[in-house]
């Protein structure tokens, strides 16, 4: 059996050609005990590989190409066919998705910087007095601002189960006193009739009348940072005073007037609102 197997061994060059792994990387994986040759000539040191190792080589190449390092690859090969293998791939997918969102945000910022000096036709500023309103809300900590959808996944079935009918546009309140990149404290909300009662996870917020600087954004949510920049310029130029009394009424909030449920991304309409003193 050993002699039959040996006669079918491939040189490292042949194995490299079939596996699409360079000779340099095959030596690297051998040194780290990730893909050890089936046979090494004791006199010449030449490495030889068995055809059945091509499947290992394919997994190694795929794991490398999705971002795993050599030490992780070795551990994952041993976990193939187990829940640990699937869990690791799911975590890597989530990590890459977050990197993609970050890259898309950077591309949007570059576009905005290139467009500086031109008119911001997709963002308009105004000063608006919002009347007092009763809203139903769900508050929670989410990983980032873009993970707001996790809260809507809680609210939507709760609204249906409790038979509640919204009376206006939905939105989100930012509770943190400072901008934070992780673990963001948000409340999503929908206006409801005064006197409405709810059960957890829903809560009722009574919002007073508020004088706000509002940037209305037409188009993708990636423009929201630009909206804040325009608002800040207006606050500075007009010496406006931002409300800062620690109440929920002083928190910045967004209102989603046109969303993905009824329009394409270029047709979104979002109001970015900053309460003023």
Express each pLDDT in 187-223 by its tens digit: 999 999 999 999 999 999 999 999 999 999 988 888 8
Averaged pLDDT of the chain: 90
Which of residues 89 and 118 earns the better pLDDT score?
89
Question: In which band, very low, low, confident or very high, does the pLDDT at 235 lie, cut at 50, 70 and 90?
Answer: very high
Q: How confident is the model at residue 2 (pLDDT cuts 50, 70, 90)?
A: very low
| pLDDT for the residue 7 | 59
Tokens, residue 5: 């197997």
Lowest-confidence pick of 22-26, 225-229, 230-234: 225-229
Total residue length of the chain: 277
* Per-residue H/E/C for the chain: CHHHHHHCCEEHHHHHHHHCCCHHHHHHHHHCCCCCCCEECCCCCCEEECCCHHHHHHHHHHHHHCCCCHHHHHHHHHCCCCHHHHHHHHHHHHHHHHHHHHHHHHHHHHHHHHCCCCCCCCEEEEEEEECCEEEEEEEEEECCHHHCHHHHHHHHHHHHHCCCCCCCCEEEEECCCCCCCCCEEEEEEEEECCCCCCCCCCEEEEECCEEEEEEEEECCHHHHHHHHHHHHHHHHHCCCCECCCCCHHHCCEEEEEECCCCCCHHHCEEEEEEEEC
Do 74 and 32 touch, CB atoms closer than 8 A? Answer: yes
Q: Which CATH superfamily is domain 123-275 in?
A: Regulatory factor, effector binding domain (3.20.80.10)
pLDDT over 90, % of the chain = 74
Q: How do 184-192 and 170-174 pair as beta strands?
A: antiparallel
CATH 3.20.80.10-classified regions of the chain: 123-275
Q: What is the pLDDT of residues 128-140, one digit of tens each?
A: 999 999 999 999 9
Q: Tell which residue, 82, 78, 60, has the closest CA to residue 69.
A: 60
- pLDDT exceeds cutoff 60 at 119: no
Checking if the pLDDT of 3 tops 60, the result is: no
CB atoms within 10 A of CB 50: 16
Instruction: Please report the pLDDT score of residue 1 as a whole number.
Output: 39
Asked if 211 contacts 129 with a C-beta cutoff of 8 angstroms, the reply is yes
The predicted-structure confidence for 158-191, as pLDDT tens digits, reads as follows: 999 999 988 889 999 999 988 888 899 999 999 9
Every domain range in the chain assigned CATH 1.10.1660.10: 2-78
- Residue 109, pLDDT > 90, answer no
| 61: confidence class by pLDDT, cuts 50, 70, 90 | very high
With cut-offs at 50, 70 and 90, classify the pLDDT of residue 115: low
Which CATH number, 2.30.110.10, 1.10.1660.10, 1.10.760.10, 1.10.10.10, labels domain 2-78? 1.10.1660.10
């Amino acid at each position: 059996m050993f002699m039959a197997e040996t006669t079918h061994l491939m040189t490292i060059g042949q194995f490299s050609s079939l596996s699409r792994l360079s000779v340099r990387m095959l030596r690297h994986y051998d040194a780290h005990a990730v893909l050890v040759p089936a046979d090494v000539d004791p006199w010449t040191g030449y490495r030889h590989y068995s055809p059945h190792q091509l499947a290992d080589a394919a997994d190694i190449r795929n794991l490398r190409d999705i971002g795993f390092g050599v030490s992780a690859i070795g551990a994952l090969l041993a976990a193939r066919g187990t829940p640990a293998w699937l869990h690791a791939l799911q975590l890597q997918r989530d990590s890459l998705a977050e990197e993609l969102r970050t890259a898309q945000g950077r591309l949007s910022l570059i576009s905005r910087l290139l467009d500086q000096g031109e008119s911001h036709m997709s963002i308009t500023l105004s000063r608006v007095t919002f009347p007092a309103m009763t809203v139903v809300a769900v508050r929670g900590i989410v990983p980032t601002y873009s993970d707001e959808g996790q809260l809507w996944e809680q609210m939507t079935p709760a609204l249906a189960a409790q038979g509640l009918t919204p009376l206006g546009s939905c939105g989100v309140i930012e509770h943190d006193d400072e901008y934070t990149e992780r673990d963001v404290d948000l409340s999503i909300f929908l206006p409801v009739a005064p006197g409405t009662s709810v059960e957890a996870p829903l809560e009722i917020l009574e919002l007073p009348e508020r004088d706000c600087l509002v940037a209305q954004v037409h188009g993708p949510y990636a423009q929201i940072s630009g909206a804040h920049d325009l608002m800040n310029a207006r606050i500075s130029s007009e010496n406006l005073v931002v409300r800062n009394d620690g109440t929920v009424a002083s928190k910045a909030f967004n209102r989603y007037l046109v969303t993905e449920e009824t329009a394409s991304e270029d047709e979104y309409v979002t109001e970015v609102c900053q309460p003023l003193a």
